[in-house]
Structure 1
Amino acid sequence: MTLLQARGLTRHFGGLRAVDGVDFDLTQGEIHALIGPNGAGKTTFVSLLCGRVAAQAGSIAFAGQDITRLPAQARVRLGIAYTFQITSIYARLSVYDNVALAVQRRGLRDLRAGVMAALDRVGLGAQADQVAGTLSYGHQRLLEIAMGLGLAPRLLILDEPTQGLAAGEIEGFKTLVRGLVPDVTVLLIEHNMDVVMDLADRITVLNFGRVLATGTPAQIRADRAVQAAYLGG
């Protein structure tokens, strides 16, 4: 089942064609990676999907509903959560309170149960009372994912989640993401190609705001256009 479908999605900034007529499909329950050179339009594209940036042309459907003109908060309520490339936690609040801010949007009766479920899922249950800003960088990234999970998303968009993580933390991250599917569909923007090739069911390559290729990791690895533009083959 197709969870998200974009057709002809376009966003220009002056003369820069950041996203230029992109068609894109996400299958429910998959891990889908979005890769491409710096400046390819990846972050602008996912900002269009989650409503942080308005599309100038094209359409977006989520779970069969046209969301092209919906504001970001309405898309969150429908089940789209986006974690940022740069950690965006509330450093002075506790770990628990960071996640509670997300969970309370769902109107759960048992707020604590919802918060602890999200923290336990990323392995931070024991740090619930710790001030978020005192966590290690790797744990702050995990907290951000817990905040996304606190929204009970159908689609979780992760923007450069392994940036700055140590090798051991990356292995833990991969285990975490694998455990999210098929309940949660994951769209992953990632420069670490080992992570991409190990995790992704499918990969879409953007270049100059357009789709260069979409396929399995093996297909993308063997694609000569992708090799020339991005993989250095």
Structure 2
Amino acid sequence: MATVTLLETNGLSRRFGGLKAVDGVDFRLDRGEIRAVIGPNGAGKTTFVSLVAGRVPPSEGSIRFEGEDVTRLPAHARVRRGIAYTFQITSIFGNLSVFDNVALAVQSALAKEAGFGARLDEAEIRGRTMTALDLTGLAARADQPAGTLAYGHQRLVEVAMGLGLAPKLLILDEPTQGLSDPEIADFIGLVRTIAETATVMLIEHNMAVVMDLATRITVLDRGRILAEGTPAEIRADARVQHAYLGT
């Protein structure tokens, strides 16, 4: 089956004063991939995905999603087009229940589908919300205030919120941080399930997770792409071994 490009950047750069956090990145992501973006601290990973999601404007370059130029679109407009980004720092509503956090995302997705002013079906909101909670293992915690969850479970609420948006591209930023080993194993299964209907891009420092999950890996170093390839190719790349893997 022919590959279809979902996301493409050309010459994408972002400067913060004299620092070039992202420096002329040409990047292509195909529909259906699980792509890991890795690199040492300060490599520009979070800035890069923030540019893709519209949370940070580029200094130079362009971003195309499903063939359309989205370079100047704000984050909320990119969400409507199908780009969902779970933040590196949890951004849940701590005083609301787990269910209500995810239901807000579901309502947003349904409103996009139905059109402005359309009446939303409460049963569909509940059904989609519970599906996202079931997938992330949070159904039993649906009524719990989200702010009382352990950090790792708050991250899973974010993932459930991302799923509630029915994304075409789900960007996960350090998703396994704070999870126990059994929870990480469950998370790997979750991402594989998500990838049946959405493309996944994740920033992740846990190399066992990266090597297990990713179909391809992009390595950033000092804001530039150092290497790209399959897990086996990246593991064998001498430049990556020197810059990041420490071998």
Q: Same fold by TM (over 0.5)?
A: yes
Q: How does 1:159-178 map to 2 (within 5 A)?
A: 159-178=173-192
Point out the more displaced range, 32-41 or 130-139: 130-139
2:78 aligned partner: 75
Q: Could you tell me whether the CA contact under 8 Å between 1:30 and 1:182 is conserved in 2? A: no
Root-mean-square deviation (CA), in Å? 1.0
Match of 2:166 among 144, 148, 152: 152
The answer to whether 1:211 aligns with 2:225 is: yes
Provide the secondary structure at the position in 2 that maps to 1:12. strand
Read off the aligned partner of 1:195 and give its amino acid letter: V
What's the TM-score, normalizing by structure 1? 0.97
Correspondence for 1:198 among 189, 212, 231: 212
1:184 and 2:198 correspond: yes
Rounded Cα–Cα distance in structure 2 between residues aligned with 1:115 and 1:151: 10
CA deviation after TM superposition for structure 1 residue 166, in Å? 1.1
| Residue 137 of structure 1: how far off its partner (Å) | 2.4
How far did residue 3 of structure 1 move? 0.6
Structure 1 unaligned spans of 5+? none
Could you tell me whether the CA contact under 8 Å between 1:100 and 1:150 is conserved in 2?
yes
Residue 131 of structure 2 corresponds to 117
3-state DSSP class of the match of 1:113? helix
- TM superposition shift of 1:134: 2.0
Count residues with an aligned counterpart.
Answer: 233
Q: Is the 8 A contact 1:28 1:182 kept in 2?
A: no
With 109-118 and 157-166 compared, the bigger mean Cα shift is at 109-118
1:98 aligns with 2:110: no
Q: Does 1:22 align with 2:25?
A: yes
Q: How far apart, CA to CA, are the structure 1 residues paired with 2:179 and 2:126? A: 29
Q: CA deviation at 1:195?
A: 0.6
String of CA shifts for 1:59-113, please: whole Å, max 9, x gaps: 1110111100100000000000000112221111001110111111122522111
Instruction: Answer with 32-41 or 160-169: which moved more.
Output: 160-169
Equivalent-residue separation in structure 2 for 1:39 and 1:49 (angstroms): 18
CA distance in 1 between partners of 2:33 and 2:81 (Å):
18
CA shift for structure 1 position 115: 1.1
Give secondary structure in 1 for the equivalent of 2:76. Answer: helix
With structure 2 as the length reference, what TM-score do the two structures score?
0.92
| Secondary structure at the counterpart of residue 39 of structure 1 | coil
Alpha-carbon distance in structure 1 between the residues aligned to 2:51 and 2:90? 20
Q: What is the CA distance between 1:223 and its match in structure 2?
A: 0.6
Aligned residue in 2 for 1:32? 35
Matched, 1:226 2:240: yes
Which residue number in structure 2 is paired with residue 139 of structure 1? 153
1:32-60 CA distances to partner (integer Å, 9 max, x unpaired)?
00000000000000000000000111111
Q: Secondary structure at the match of 1:40?
A: coil
Give 1:62's aligned residue: 65
